[in-house]
């Protein structure tokens, strides 16, 4: 038998399942209009300031970008009261998750996480030859006791997705502080706060940067993909200790965030009203959905991000297909072993009403 040319981890590595693209559904079902509430994108689009910055920067794309994105890091540092060297930027939060695994995981090292949670934690850990120790949610919550009980000499990373994607609930300040008090200091705590701006409307939502102040072996991950509406440009960022950031820097793509992304991210930070309007709209959209679910007696998890996890009371695979026929895309829960659930992103009010109308037809069939 000839030797395999591939890394051995690839033989079992699962692939990330992204939301179904609009164009694909249009083509498959011969539709001209499709509403996609499947990838937690921003229905308001990017800030006008970001669009202007992108147009201005377009003339400079013959020049490589700043490899460390200093203008953006300086702005983030002053906004959040940390030092520039405590920040790293990535081609989306997804690249930062890769960097985290590349920085800490040697073959056989362990990482503790919930399931379901954001799928790139186990994918990035497994890719490095690490072992993902996955703890099923208990009544939709992280099983903190179970997760802590598994921490041992081999544990390098401990992932908390807050709010948890796809569920949308949070670990409250008390719960997180208790966890921090019990987690050994030499285990790196990864706090994924991709939906920070949405969740921080909840007074019980803890700010990971407060944890980082007291606990240097913590990484707080955020992104411009969601609330800033820059998903198509791929800009994420993370805060940690200077020591951790300097090691992570070695693993990143050299020019990982392109000029347009860096310029747009800086500009979008100026547009506080756009961020507020985005979060307001998301609350309005999810509020509309919750009213409908209440009327229908459908149970759901109270959302903290820009999406909601709801029990449709029917096979989610079938609901997914039937909704697509009507030009609607959501994320079916069966991909996370929640057979009758769906994760639905907030939309603008027109999209939201059309989606709920279509869902009502599917459920009434």
Ligand X SMILES: Cc1ncc(COP(=O)(O)O)c(C=O)c1O
Given the rule CB under 6 A, which residues bind ligand X? 40, 92-94, 118, 161, 165, 192, 194, 223, 225, 231, 236
The answer, yes or no, to whether the previous bond of 116 is cis (omega within 30 of 0) is yes
List, in sequence order, every beta strand (DSSP E) within the chain: 35-36, 87-90, 110-115, 131-136, 155-161, 188-192, 218-223, 236-239, 300-301, 307-311, 328-329, 331-332, 341-345
Residue 37 vs 194, nearer CB to ligand X: 194
Please, what is the minimum distance in Å from the beta carbon of residue 116 to ligand X? 11
Contacts for 242 with CB less than 8 Å, ≥ 6 apart: 83, 85, 86
**Could you please report the per-residue DSSP string of 154-170?**
TEEEEEEESSPTTT---
Contacts for 350 with CB less than 8 Å, ≥ 6 apart: none
Please, what is the minimum distance in Å from the beta carbon of residue 332 to ligand X? 16
Residue 94 vs 126, nearer CB to ligand X: 94
Please, what is the minimum distance in Å from the beta carbon of residue 6 to ligand X? 25
Angle at 99 between CA 95 and CA 104, to 5 degrees: 155
Please, what is the minimum distance in Å from the beta carbon of residue 121 to ligand X? 9
Residue 94 vs 322, nearer CB to ligand X: 94
Residue 109 vs 192, nearer CB to ligand X: 192
Please, what is the minimum distance in Å from the beta carbon of residue 7 to ligand X? 22
Please, what is the minimum distance in Å from the beta carbon of residue 228 to ligand X? 10
Residue 225 vs 359, nearer CB to ligand X: 225
Residue 86 vs 223, nearer CB to ligand X: 223
Alpha helices by DSSP H, 128-202: 144-149, 173-182, 196-199
- Tell how far CA 312 is from the center of its chain: 23
């Amino acid at each position: 038998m000839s030797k395999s040319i591939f890394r051995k981890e690839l033989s079992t590595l699962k692939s990330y399942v992204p939301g179904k693209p609009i164009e694909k559904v249009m083509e498959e079902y011969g539709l001209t209009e499709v509403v996609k509430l499947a990838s937690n994108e921003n229905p308001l689009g990017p800030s006008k300031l970001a669009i202007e910055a992108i147009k201005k920067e377009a003339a400079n794309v013959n020049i490589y970008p700043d490899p460390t994105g200093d203008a953006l890091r300086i702005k983030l540092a002053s906004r959040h009261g940390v030092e520039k060297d405590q920040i790293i930027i990535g081609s989306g939060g997804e690249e930062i998750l890769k960097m985290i695994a590349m920085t800490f995981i040697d073959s056989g090292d362990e990482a503790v996480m919930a399931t379901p949670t954001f799928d790139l934690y186990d994918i990035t850990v497994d890719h490095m030859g690490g072992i993902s120790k996955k703890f099923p949610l208990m009544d939709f919550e992280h099983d903190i006791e179970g997760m802590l009980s598994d921490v041992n000499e081999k544990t390098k990373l401990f992932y908390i997705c807050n709010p948890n994607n796809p569920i949308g609930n949070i670990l409250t300040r008390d719960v997180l502080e208790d966890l921090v008090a019990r987690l050994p200091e030499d285990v790196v705590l990864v706090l994924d706060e991709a939906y920070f701006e949405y969740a921080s409307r909840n007074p019980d939502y803890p700010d990971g940067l407060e944890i980082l102040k007291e606990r240097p072996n913590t990484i707080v991950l955020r992104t411009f993909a969601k609330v800033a509406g820059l998903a198509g440009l791929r800009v994420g960022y993370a805060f940690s200790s200077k020591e951790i950031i300097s090691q992570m820097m070695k693993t990143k793509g050299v020019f990982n965030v392109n000029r347009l992304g860096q310029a747009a991210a800086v500009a979008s930070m100026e547009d506080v009203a756009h961020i507020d309007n985005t979060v307001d709209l998301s609350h309005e959209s999810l509020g509309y959905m919750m009213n409908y679910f209440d009327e229908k007696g459908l149970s759901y998890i109270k959302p903290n991000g820009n999406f909601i996890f709801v029990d449709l009371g029917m096979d989610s695979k079938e609901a997914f297909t039937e909704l697509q026929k009507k030009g609607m895309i959501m994320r079916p829960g069966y991909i996370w072993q929640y057979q009758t659930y769906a994760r639905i992103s907030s939309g603008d009010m027109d999209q939201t009403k059309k989606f709920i109308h279509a869902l009502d037809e599917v459920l009434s069939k």
